[in-house]
Amino acid sequence: MRRVARILPRSPWLGALALVVTVTLLQEVPQAASQTPARPAQAQKSGPQLYKDACAACHGVSGQGQERSVVGFDLALPDFTDCSFATREQDADWLAVAHDGGPARGFSNVMPAFGEALSTDELGAILGHVRTFCADRAWPRGELNLPRTFFTEKAFPEDEAVVTSAFAATGTAVIANEIVYEKRFGARNQIELKLPIEAAKDAAGAWAGGAGDIAFGFKRAMAHSLARGSIFAAAGEFIFPTGDEAAGLSKNTTVFETFASFGQMLPRDSFLQAQAGIELPFDTEKAEREAFWRVATGRTFTQGPFGRSWTPMVELLAARELVDGEPVLWDLVPQVQFSLNTRQHLLMSVGVRMPLNRRSGRSTQVLVYFLWDWFDGGLFSGW
């Protein structure tokens, strides 16, 4: 106490003044510190440089992947210059693997996670460089592969197998199934094979049914633009009278169906799809010509930044036989698609088809499909 008393001025007025000055100086210290110029942030490296530093040791400077003898493990590395592989998936899937490692999409943990070493912007810059390895711009990007609806054919060419079932909710018990196989070839083309199988319960309560008319189709993406978020395709399909005629599962004449499909990306992971076409039977005495048009919209949600997806959608369907006096038949199809596994190449959708007019003889249907994108792996892969 004595030492403190000796350093204070003897006059009380001078002591007060000294105290005010001291407090003022102490308040200025943090302000002065805050005004100290911050150290300039280190400039972010370019995508090619980041790729060279973080990725080239395994994936190679050219993107074709190093030899197994160089990397020291037996896992075959992807070839980023192969457009058939490199263009199929969305940026979000690539970023998920880069950020959280291979297991984020059900792949090997040999692919490490870079989320703690590199920022999202840096990973995006690397991905931007990886995208340059495929120099052929004829291949539509994976972002344009919009979710599959029950009826509106999408424009993106795919490698998929889909099994769809429709159950009559009212009236006669009927189960209509369709097996679809799709094979992509080249940058824009796809062939498709459809086999319908139907079963119904008769008046005695016994089930009977059989196979319907087999269809073979070809589709081509005519134009696409990632910048505009749009894709347009044209297709043709022959439906052959191979079904069980006695069971009423055949039109008894070959039918040619042609249509156009359009897909448009919208903000906030939403989208719009549309399709319009016409069915032209070879023998109009056995089947009527019919025009149809369909539109669908929806939005995809993910669990966390890179988790599984949920896509609620709704379709509006219209069809009219080209006969005088026939009305346009309208149906509404609310539905939701969701991924089953981590890799998200196995999907399921559940929906309801509800007639909006002329309901007599047209039953509400419960719809289910199982989709396997077989290019991305087997049925038991990626869980």
* Residues 183-202: tens digit of each pLDDT: 999 999 999 999 999 988 77
- The pLDDT of residue 291 is above 50: yes
User: Which residues have a Cβ under 8 Å from the Cβ of 308 and sit 6 or more positions away?
Assistant: 302, 338, 339, 342, 344
What pLDDT does residue 43 have? Answer: 55
Q: Three-state SS string across 83-148, please?
A: HHHHCCCCHHHHHHHHHHCHHHHCCCCCCCCCCCCCCHHHHHHHHHHHHHHCCCCCCCCHHHCCCC
What pLDDT does residue 72 have? Answer: 82
Whole-structure pTM value: 0.83
Mean pLDDT calculated for residue range 338-348? 95
CATH no., domain 142-376: 2.40.160.40
pLDDT in tens, 345-374: 999 999 999 999 988 888 899 999 999 999
**What is the C-alpha end-to-end distance of the chain, expressed in Å?**
74
* Same CATH fold assignment for domains 47-133 and 142-376: no
Mean pLDDT calculated for residue range 15-23? 38
What pLDDT does residue 172 have? Answer: 75
- The pLDDT of residue 214 is above 50: yes
Lowest mean pLDDT among 23-37, 55-69, 295-309, 365-379: 23-37
pLDDT in tens, 120-162: 999 999 999 999 999 899 999 999 999 999 999 999 999 999 9
What pLDDT does residue 19 have? Answer: 38
What pLDDT does residue 343 have? Answer: 92
**103 phi/psi in degrees, rounded to 5:** -60, -15
Domain boundaries of the chain, sorted by first residue: 47-133, 142-376
47-133 under CATH 3.30.70, yes or no: no
User: Which residues have a Cβ under 8 Å from the Cβ of 121 and sit 6 or more positions away?
Assistant: 44
pLDDT in tens, 70-110: 888 888 889 999 999 999 999 999 999 999 999 999 998 88
**Average pLDDT of the residues of the chain:** 87
